[in-house]
Structure 1
Amino acid sequence: MKQYKGIIFDMDGVLLDSERLYKRIEADMYHAAGIQPTKNEIAKSMGRGCENWWQYLRDTYHLDIDPAAQAEYESRRYFDLLDVPEERPAVFPGVQECFEACHNAGIHLSIASGSKRYLVEKVIDLLKIRMYIDGFVTSEDVKAGKPDPEIMETAASIMGVRPEDCLVIDDATNGMVAGKKAGTDAWLFASADAALVDASEADAVVQSHWEIMEHLNLSK
């Protein structure tokens, strides 16, 4: 197995099992807007960031909406639900152990997420992983979201590691493509929505953080 100097993790669908909650929030918003995006459209939207998605919906369905306002509403609703125990998405088992093992092995870590900065900050503190990461990149830090490589290039730069020495772990095709364009390897984290993801871009498929550690030959 290749020895990576840096690993770039996606957040939603990789660290938190949050896609179901996002889907429920978006379903309410679709109903209010009088639209129903197809499964194929939703699959292509994964990892792109909320505002880009609402721009697509506005243009495709000719909606009289402000994409930035829609994205902010969706993000704030999700942010508020993180404080409700019965609504809060589950943390994937082994996240903290995986981050600690990588850190102890001298592997640099960062997070590249299409979410808002305040959401990423909150999740990092919720997961108690801030001490293990070099930093993070959000939709507010780049001009273009995934699958553009900018977010992965920025995450690699934060770690001080060349992209070709990095691994991206993402649950969406857009994230893996962004990594590949930047020059990284890419692993698919097969979460609940894996059936909607084109795994052809993946160098490997993993289903848990324990499996990530096993592939990297790290002790648990």
Structure 2
Amino acid sequence: MADTAIFDVDGTLVDTNYQHALAWYRAFRRFDLVLPVWRIHRSIGKGGDQLVPALVGDAVEREHGDALRDAWSQEISPMIDEVRPFDGAHDLLLAVKERGFRVVLASSGKKDHVEHFLDLLDARELADAWTTSDDVEASKPAPDLVQTALARVSGAHGVMIGDSPWDAIAASKASVPTIAVRTGGFSREELTDAGAESVFDSLRDLIAGLDDTPLARAGA
């Protein structure tokens, strides 16, 4: 009965997860906090309000949380022009749209980054709506972003398409099923353990397998 496809952007449609991990590594270094990059990557997909305490604790969040997020913003901005869409990103949006779904790009990213990615994906005419960090108080794995995305188009039943365990956890809290892709660098087991109903290795594989997912046809 799905009528709305809710797409995560970073790590799902555009290849940004490792840039984000490096930006956070550099941000933490500014405060003499040296974390292995692999540990940071395990939390990519969470919003900065969730990532900082998860990685360095509540005390650091209270003392430096906002400053760390400002540092991350300064570190990631020069990398944005390096980002490219994953192969098949535009074609996937088009295929889902042609199957009758409302399409929402559900990002908790900065507004200027989201605007840049919309152009990079040539998605402005395909997306019925999109979100940014300005639209929610609590980021993934809280369900707020998924709920906001669904409400933005008056959708009744959504399907989440994401790359991280945090996408699946957030969607599950909103009673929305998740289709996962491995484009963000997470394993099949991590994604299914988080609640993803199906996992595809690439966006092209997902396009080829749409008929076997809740995205086969809107309302079906």
Measured against the shorter chain, the TM-score band is 0.7 to 0.9
Q: C-alpha separation between the residues in 2 aligned to 1:65 and 1:113?
A: 27
Would you say 1:116 and 2:116 are equivalent positions? no
Cα 1:193–1:65 shift into 2, 3 Å? farther
Cα 1:63–1:203 shift into 2, 3 Å? closer
Match of 1:169 in 2: 161
Match of 1:50 in 2: 48
Q: Which 5+ residue runs of structure 2 have no aligned equivalent?
A: none
| Structure-1-length-normalised TM-score | 0.83
* 1:28 partner SS: helix
Would you say 1:159 and 2:153 are equivalent positions? yes
Cα 1:140–1:173 shift into 2, 3 Å? same
Match of 2:171 in 1: 179
* 2:120 partner SS: helix
* Percentage of identical aligned residues: 23
Q: How many positions carry a matched residue from both structures?
A: 210
Q: C-alpha separation between the residues in 1 aligned to 2:128 and 2:2?
A: 15
Match of 1:23 in 2: 21
Q: C-alpha separation between the residues in 1 aligned to 2:163 and 2:109?
A: 14
* 1:205 partner SS: strand
**1:11 is aligned with what amino acid?**
V
1:8 and 1:167 in contact (8 A); partners too:
yes
2:18 and 2:41 in contact (8 A); partners too:
no
* 1:194 partner SS: coil
| Structure-2-length-normalised TM-score | 0.83
**2:76 is aligned with what amino acid?**
Y
Match of 1:197 in 2: 190
Q: Which 5+ residue runs of structure 1 have no aligned equivalent?
A: none
CA offsets 1:93-150 (integer angstroms, 9 cap, x no match): 0111111122222211112223112211111112211111111122221121111111
